[in-house]
Chain A
Amino acid sequence: MSPEIMTILMFATLMLMIALGHPLAITLAAVATLYGLIDNGGNILPLFDLFLNNSWGIFLNYVLVAIPLFIFMAQILDRSKVSEGLFDALYIVLGGLRGGLGMAVIVVSTVFAATTGIIGASVVAMGLMAGPALLRRGYERGLSAGIICSSGTLGILIPPSIMLVVYGGLTGLKETSVGNLFAGAILPGILLSGMYLAYVAIRCTINPKLGPVIPIEDRTYSLGQKAMMTLKSFVPPFGLILTVMGTILAGIATPTEAAALGCLGALILAAFNKKLTWQMFRLAADSTLKTTCMIMLLFIGGKVFSVVFLSMGGGDVVADLLLGMDVNEYVILAIMMLVVFIMGMFIDWAAILLVVVPIFTPIAMDLDFNPLWFAMLVCINLQTSFLTPPFGYALFYFKGVAPPEYSMGDIYRGIIPFVLIQIVGLAAIIAFPQIVTWLPDIFFGRR
Chain B
Amino acid sequence: MSIIENSINNLNERVGKLTGYLIIPLFLVVVCEVFMRYALNAPTVWAFEATTLLYGCHFALGFAYTYKYDGHVAIDVFESRLDTRPRAILRIIVSLVLFIPTMGMMAMAGIRYAANSWGNWELASSSWAPPLYPFKTIMAIGFVLLLLQGIAKLICDFRSLKN
A binding-site residues for B, Cβ under 8 Å: 17-27, 29-30, 33, 44-45, 48-49, 51-52, 55-56, 59-62, 64-65, 68-69, 72, 252-253, 256-257, 259-261, 263-264, 282, 285-286, 288-294, 296-298, 346-348, 350-351, 390-391
- A294 contacts which of B53, B71, B110 (Cβ < 8 Å)? B71
Report the Cα distance A26→B91, complex, angstroms: 13
A55 and B72 within 8 A (CB): no
Report the Cα distance A215→B7, complex, angstroms: 59
Closest 9 CB pairs of A and B: A21-B79, A260-B30, A48-B109, A23-B72, A59-B56, A293-B66, A21-B76, A296-B59, A293-B62
Count of chain B residues with Cβ under 8 Å from any Cβ of A? Answer: 60
Report B84 CB to chain A, min CB distance, Å. Answer: 14
A26 and B103 within 8 A (CB): yes
Collect the chain B residues with CB atoms within 8 Å of residue A347's CB.
75
A391 and B66 within 8 A (CB): no
Collect the chain A residues with CB atoms within 8 Å of residue B23's CB.
68-69, 72, 285, 288-289
In the complex, B106 has a CB within 8 A of chain A? yes
Given A62-B52, A65-B51, A263-B27: A26 in contact with B80 (beta carbons within 8 A): no
- Interface majority SS (helix, strand, loop, mixed), chain B: helix
Report the Cα distance A324→B66, complex, angstroms: 44
In the complex, B42 has a CB within 8 A of chain A? no
A55 and B63 within 8 A (CB): no
Given A22-B74, A33-B105: A290 in contact with B69 (beta carbons within 8 A): yes
Given A21-B75, A289-B19: A260 in contact with B48 (beta carbons within 8 A): no
B26 and A69 within 8 A (CB): yes
- B24 contacts which of A285, A297, A350 (Cβ < 8 Å)? A285
Given A29-B102, A293-B62: A391 in contact with B75 (beta carbons within 8 A): yes
In the complex, B139 has a CB within 8 A of chain A? yes
**Interface set, chain B 118-163, CB cutoff 8 A to A:** 135-136, 139, 146
Collect the chain A residues with CB atoms within 8 Å of residue B112's CB.
49
**Interface set, chain B 33-57, CB cutoff 8 A to A:** 33-34, 38, 48, 51-53, 55-56
